[in-house]
Amino acid sequence: MKHSIKLTCLALGLATIGSTAAYADCNDVTIASMNWQSAEVLASLDKFILENGYDCTVSIISGDTVPTLTSMAERGQPDIAPEAWVDLVPEVIGRGLEEGKLVATGAALSDGAVQGWFIPQYIVDAHPDIVTIGDALKHPELFPAPEDPSKGAVFNGPQGWGGTVVTTQLFKAYGAEAAGFELIDTGSAAGLDGSIARAYENQEGWLGYYWAPTAILGRYPMVKLNFDAPHDADEWKRCNSNADCPDPKINEWVSDKVLTVTTTTFAERAGEPVMAYLGTRSWSNKIVNNLLSWMTDNQATGEDGAKYFLENNKDIWSTWVSPEAAAKIEAAL
C-alpha cells in the first residue's frame, strides 16, 4: 500500500509538472548534502550538472535524513534531497507525498541500499557460528566496549540519522543491555568510521550499524548479520523507525529504496528538463563504491569526486541529460 501511494503521487506529480511548467526557469536551487560520502558526492554532481547544463544557481546546504525531509515536507526547503533513504522515515515521506508537498523523481541508487549490523570478516572466520545478531549478542567478550571492556559494545551512528533511530530501537528489541552490551554514540560519521578502522588495526571485535554503498566496506571487509525475525513492514513503521515507541520488536532490516526527492514547489518551478534529469539520473552500488574508494584514497571532497566521475564516465552521465546539456557540461569540465 505504501508503495502504491508513492507511485501514484509520483505519477500525478510529474504529470502536473509536465503540463504546467515544461519551460519554467530553474533559477536558485538549494540542494541538501547529507553528512555521508555518497550523498555528498551526489549533491555535488547535481550541482555541477544543474549549473552547467541547465543554467541553475545552486547552493548546497548540510542536512541529515530526518530533519531535511521533515523540513522539505513542512517548510518547503531545501528544494532537493538527492539521496533520500525514504524507508527510514516512512511517515514523513508518505505524508509529504499524500499531501502533494513532495515529489519522488526516481531511484538515486538503482539497486537500493543495504543497512544493518555488521561485524568484521575475521570475527566470522574465527567464529562461523555467529550468523545472526542474536548469535553475536551471546558473546559480549568478543566485542569489547572502549571504556569498559567487561561489557560488549554496539556502535551506533550520529544523532539525526534514521539508521541511528532504528539501531537504538533494535538494541532495545534484542534486550542488548541485559545481554551485557552498551550502545555507543560515535557522534559523527567520522567517529563511526574511525571505530571500524581502530578495530581492524587492533584486530578486535566490532559490532554495530553500517551501510552500503561506502568506501570503508571495500577497505575493511565486513559481514552483515542476519536478523532473527522476518520483516514486518507495519511493525517497522509503527515502532522500529519511531524513536518514541517504547516496545520495539525484532524486525529484519531489508534493503532500502534510495530516491531523489524534491519539493513540489521546486518541481513546478524548475520545469520538465530539470525534472527529467533528476528522474533519469541513477547509479548502481558498484559505480558508487568505486567512486567512493577513489575519493577516500585521494582524500577527495564531494566536489572533487563529482568532477572525477564526470571526466571519466561520459558514457554514463551523458544518458541522463539532453545532448545540448551534455555539450555544455563537457565544455565546463
3-state secondary structure of 316: helix
pLDDT average, residue stretch 2-26: 41
The sheet with strand 222-224 has its strands ordered as: 181-185, 152-156, 208-212, 114-120, 222-224
Q: How confident is the model at residue 20 (pLDDT cuts 50, 70, 90)?
A: very low
Q: What is the percent of the chain with per-residue pLDDT over 70, rounded to a whole number? A: 92
For residue 25, pLDDT over 50 is answered with yes
How many CB atoms lie under 10 A from the CB of residue 8? Answer: 12
pLDDT-based confidence at residue 289 (cuts at 50, 70, 90): confident
Among 3, 261, 317, 294, which residue's Cα sits nearest to residue 108?
261
> Tell me, what's the pLDDT at 18?
40
**What's the pLDDT score for residue 27?**
83
Q: What is the pTM of this model?
A: 0.68
Q: Which of 95, 114, 110, 83 is nearest to 6 (CA)?
A: 95
For 21-43, what is the mean pLDDT?
A: 82
Give alpha helix (H) positions in the chain.
Answer: 2-20, 37-54, 65-75, 90-98, 121-126, 133-136, 162-173, 189-202, 216-219, 233-235, 264-270, 272-280, 285-297, 302-312, 314-317, 323-332
Tell me which range, 13-17, 24-28, 33-37, 149-153, is most confidently predicted by mean pLDDT: 149-153
Say how many C-beta atoms besides its own lie within 10 A of residue 210's C-beta.
25
Helix (H, G, I), strand (E, B) or coil at 52: helix
Query: Would you say 152 and 160 are in contact if contact means Cβ atoms under 8 Å apart?
Result: no
User: Average pLDDT in the 245-256 region?
Assistant: 93
Q: Is the CA virtual torsion 146, 148, 153, 158 positive or negative?
A: negative
Q: Is the peptide bond before 248 cis (omega within 30 degrees of 0)?
A: no
- Residue labelled with grid coordinates 553528512: 35
pLDDT at 3: 33
Return the C-alpha cell found at 1. 500500500
- Residue 40 has a pLDDT of 95
Residue 116: all three cell numbers together: 544493518
Average pLDDT over residues 282-295: 88
